[in-house]
Amino acid sequence: MVSVGDTAPNFTLMGTDGKLHSLADYHGHPVVLFFFPKCFTGTCERQISGHAQHIGDFDAFGAKVIGVSTDHTPSQSAFKKGCDPDNHVLLLSDFRHDVVKAYGIHVAEGQLPNQRATFVIDSHGVVRHAHVEAAPGEWAGIEPELAALRTL
C-alpha cells in the first residue's frame, strides 16, 4: 500500500464531467483522494455526500477532492445525482482497476473490488495521510482528512 512519505502514484482517469483527469493536473495544490468500493451503496453515498456537504472546508485549504471507484462513468454519474447534486466532488472511473492496484487497495477476491481508503497528498505530490478502513461499511468521516490538511 502507498504510505505516508511516498510519492503518490500518478494516474489519468475519466471523470463524471466527461474529461480526462490526471493527479499531476493538481500539482501545486493539496488533494484529498478517496476510494469507495461501489456506487449505490449506503456508506459510499455518505462518503461522497459528506465530502460534498463540507466542500467549503476543503476549499479553505485549497484542496481538490477526488473520489475514485471501479464503477463505469455512467454508473458514477447516475449515483452522484443523489449524493452530490451540486457537483462539488469530482468522481473518476478506474474500471480497469489500475489505480486501486497502484495504491495497494485492490481486493482480488470477493464482491468488492477495493478497500475504502483516503490519501491526503500535499502540493508536491507526497502522501501526508493514508487511511484504509477496517471494513467496507466503515468510514472515518472528513475530520481526519481536514486534520491532515491543517498540518500542510
Q: Note the pLDDT tens digit of each residue in 97-116.
A: 999 999 999 998 888 999 99
pLDDT greater than 90 at residue 20: yes
* Per-residue confidence (pLDDT) for residue 110, from 0 to 100: 84
pLDDT greater than 90 at residue 94: yes
Q: What is the pTM of this model?
A: 0.96
Choose among 89, 103, 24, 96: nearest CA to 59. 89
CA distance 13 to 96: 10
Catalytic residues: 44
User: What does the block give as the cell for 72?
Assistant: 463505469
Per-residue confidence band for 133, with pLDDT thresholds at 50, 70 and 90: very high
Residue 98 CA: distances (Å) to CA of 43, 110, 141: 23, 18, 25
CA distance 36 to 13: 15
* Per-residue confidence (pLDDT) for residue 111, from 0 to 100: 87
Q: Is 21 helix (H, G, I), strand (E, B) or coil?
A: strand
* Per-residue confidence (pLDDT) for residue 150, from 0 to 100: 97
